[in-house]
Structure 1
């Protein structure tokens, strides 16, 4: 069956998600429309496609034991010069995100992996673009704010076209689907089986 590239993240709800995605485009990031505006819980991870049912069961168990928590974004930060990224900061909910991502990557589950850098929840608004574009992102979003109640997360698959598409939502406490907000981009179109390698 080959492998698939998966990611797990908390989607930033509307109207914030689309607004930040459009701002990311305006700063010159060509990949912006293929990436949902999000807080990463599991970075891009290559997994044997045969493990997808186990991955989904693991994430369902993680979500079932979770509870909704407040998320608040405010201001900007950067990982430069270590990494060419400008982001909007998570100023409330960071500890809950850190606990959640640790459970997603738990050693007893199918998504065990080491991280390249220590976990730092954030919302990327510029990545790998010109220094001028990164400076603009850092300055123009420096007073940005948003807040919402995080009620779940989602599993995404990266297609051969580089676009991330939602595979499944996971509501905290085993609640109903529909907790992951839609955004105006291809990420909310179902992943086509033909895209799986």
Structure 2
């Protein structure tokens, strides 16, 4: 039946999503128009296409066990020099994203996979462009701010044209969220140096 390249992510809602996508394109990132603005939960992963029903059922079960949580973006960070990425920082919602991606990648589930770098939720605004252009992106969005309530996530498939298209949305239920007893914030400058691709 072939394979499919899937990704699972939290969409950055409008008007922020389109604004950041247009800015990313303006910085010279040619891939921008094919990548909806997002927070990655599962990076691009190739799976057997006949596993899609199992994957969709798993994601529905995960979504039902969560409830909505606050998301807030503020300022920029970078994974350079390890990875050529500039991103907008998540300063509220880190614990929710981290717990969610762990459930989606459950070792016993159909999307179990190892990550090349420790999980670090972020919103990419430049990837693989010149150092000068990444410097521009880093400075241009230094004062950027946005906030919304995250009420679910979505499954995407990458087409043969390189464009990511939404297959299905998964709204949260009324389960628990966050990590009790742990701060829900980015620990200062360490967030700028943790290696993690977009």
Question: What is the TM-score of this pair, normalised by structure 1?
Answer: 0.88
- State the alpha-carbon separation in 1 of the partners of residues 41 and 32 from structure 2: 19
The reply to whether residue 153 of structure 1 matches residue 153 of structure 2 is yes
What is the DSSP-based 3-state SS (H/G/I as helix, E as strand, rest coil) of the residue aligned with 2:173? helix
Match of residue 56 from structure 1: 56
- State the alpha-carbon separation in 2 of the partners of residues 80 and 95 from structure 1: 24
Q: Which runs of 4+ in 1 moved over 3 A?
A: none
What is the DSSP-based 3-state SS (H/G/I as helix, E as strand, rest coil) of the residue aligned with 2:70? strand
1:170, CA displacement in angstroms? 0.1
Match of residue 178 from structure 1: none
Q: For each residue in 1:145-181, what CA deviation from the matched residue of structure 2 results, as whole angstroms up to 9, or x when unmatched?
A: 000000000000000000000000000008xxxxxxx
Match of residue 185 from structure 2: none
Match of residue 24 from structure 1: 24
Q: For each residue in 1:110-152, what CA deviation from the matched residue of structure 2 results, as whole angstroms up to 9, or x when unmatched?
A: 0000000000000000000011110000000000000000000
Unaligned 5+ segments in structure 2 are 175-198
1:54, CA displacement in angstroms? 0.3
- State the alpha-carbon separation in 2 of the partners of residues 146 and 129 from structure 1: 24
Q: CA RMSD in A?
A: 0.7
Q: For each residue in 1:9-61, what CA deviation from the matched residue of structure 2 results, as whole angstroms up to 9, or x when unmatched?
A: 00000000000000000000000000000000000000000100000000000
Count of aligned pairs: 174
- State the alpha-carbon separation in 1 of the partners of residues 79 and 56 from structure 2: 31
Match of residue 190 from structure 2: none
1:108, CA displacement in angstroms? 1.5
What is the DSSP-based 3-state SS (H/G/I as helix, E as strand, rest coil) of the residue aligned with 1:162? coil
1:88, CA displacement in angstroms? 0.1
Match of residue 172 from structure 1: 172
Match of residue 74 from structure 1: 74
Unaligned 5+ segments in structure 1 are 175-197
- State the alpha-carbon separation in 2 of the partners of residues 95 and 66 from structure 1: 12
- State the alpha-carbon separation in 1 of the partners of residues 107 and 53 from structure 2: 17
1:107, CA displacement in angstroms? 1.2
Match of residue 84 from structure 2: 84
- State the alpha-carbon separation in 1 of the partners of residues 76 and 139 from structure 2: 8
Match of residue 186 from structure 1: none
User: Which runs of structure 2 are paired with 1:112-123 in the superposition (5 Å)?
Assistant: 112-123=112-123
